[in-house]
Amino acid sequence: MDKSEPVGLMPSEQRSGRGAVGNPRVRFDSLVKSPFDDGWNTLADAFGDLPPLPTTLIRDASRSAISWNTSPDIGFDRSVNPYRGCEHGCVYCFARPTHAYLGYSPGLDFETKLIFKPNIAELLERELCKPGYSVRSMALGTNTDPYQPVERTLKLTRAILEVLDRFNHPVGIVTKSAGVLRDIDILGSMAKRNLARVYLSVTTLDPALARRMEPRAATPSRRLSAITELARAGIPVGVLTAPMIPGLNDCELEKLLEAASRAGARFAGYVLLRLPHELRQMFEDWLHAHYPNRARHVLSLIRDTRAGALNDGRFHHRFAGQGAYANLLASRFTRAARQWGLDGSSEGLDRSRFAVPDMEIASDPKGQLDLF
């Protein structure tokens, strides 16, 4: 082998309809795979014509439904997620590295090996019935999308909403899918009791960019239409322009907020791109695969917002970044949100209605149950 010849990188594993261009190793694994070509062009042959990857469903045996957090950056302390992994395949998804805890790669595994919780509604109901449970708004869709394609058949998100509806428990939903409209009957009923709010995540108005970044999510126009339909049904709806990626989609910030406002959104938020753990290299590989002429510039701008690094996981910094570029983005968001009437505070959902079904004994002040 000619030592002056650079050693090749692992060829792209990009598949049709998938976001990640590879399947990086799990960071907890001690085994490291390195590319090797024996001189017979075997690497190019092996990766030359890769078939589409099917989606595999794996049952989860969790014994709890509610996840708790104490992060000062997040406006909720509890969430429920019926799925781990997400078929939408958003290349920038901050949740990708969590797949490593399950022994799967944050790359293609994250979008093809989906873990679902078949009894999550029963688990949730049991936890809400526990003595001393103190109600606050439940977040739905904070880790992976509750309305990703597999929800059409499994209907776990709908089962969760049915439980929350019976308990009069407030819920906030984040999704990139127009599939949320399927549950407009439940959400509309809950909204009348000030128990429900929905955010649609809209990252770009460019269908071509959306197909590359979010290959199996709803088109931008379909998400805006979903905002309109939710608003018409009386459901408080907002838009999340998240993530904003410097040099890639941040130029659309004002147009995104204008489009969402015209569609019926009432409030808005944004988050700067986050690249924890394996996501740093994954996003860089994706940029070089899809936007090779812009990759260096985009990465340079990201570093400008992260003190020279590609990620900053510190509390109070990770969502907004720092430096001149991050400050400019924050100012642009504030101005555009005010211009389009999206800067109002989203009033809190009603916690006072919460009650465990069939446990109220209003007929007997002593609480004595009838024998028959």
Is 372 contained in some domain?
no
Is 221 contained in some domain?
yes
Integer Cα distance of 302 and 56 in angstroms: 34
Is 316 contained in some domain?
yes
**pLDDT class of 34 with cuts at 50, 70, 90:** low
pLDDT at 130: 95
- The per-residue pLDDT for range 226-271, each reduced to its tens digit, is 999 999 999 999 999 999 999 999 999 999 999 999 999 999 999 9
Q: Per-residue pLDDT for 9 more than 80?
A: no
- The per-residue pLDDT for range 335-346, each reduced to its tens digit, is 999 999 999 776
pLDDT at 37: 58
Is 241 contained in some domain?
yes
Q: Kindly state the average pLDDT of the residues 184-213.
A: 97
Which domain, by its residues, includes 181?
Answer: 55-339
- The per-residue pLDDT for range 197-210, each reduced to its tens digit, is 999 999 999 999 99
- The per-residue pLDDT for range 253-264, each reduced to its tens digit, is 999 999 999 999
Is 7 contained in some domain?
no
Is 45 contained in some domain?
no
Q: Kindly state the average pLDDT of the residues 97-123.
A: 94
pTM, rounded to two decimals:
0.86
pLDDT at 358: 79
Highest mean pLDDT among 49-58, 96-105, 144-153: 144-153
Q: Kindly state the average pLDDT of the residues 155-176.
A: 98
Is 79 contained in some domain?
yes
- The per-residue pLDDT for range 285-309, each reduced to its tens digit, is 999 999 999 999 999 999 999 999 9
DSSP 148: S
pLDDT at 36: 59
pLDDT at 27: 78
Is 36 contained in some domain?
no
Q: Kindly state the average pLDDT of the residues 29-51.
A: 61
What's 320's domain CATH number? 3.80.30.30
Q: Which residue has the higher pLDDT, 5 or 32?
A: 32
Integer Cα distance of 256 and 266 in angstroms: 13
Q: Per-residue pLDDT for 52 more than 90?
A: no
For residue 120, give the H/E element and its range. Answer: helix 120-128
193: helix, strand or coil: coil
DSSP for 260-300?
HHHHT--EEEEEE----TTHHHHHHHHHHHH-TTTHHHHHH
* Backbone dihedral angles phi then psi of residue 160, each to the nearest 5 degrees: -65, -45
Tokens 């838009």 -> residue: 239
Task: Give the number of domains in the chain.
Answer: 1
Q: Which residue has the higher pLDDT, 350 or 33?
A: 350
How far CA 289 is from CA of 6, 24, 286, 294, 295, in Å, comes to 19, 15, 5, 11, 9
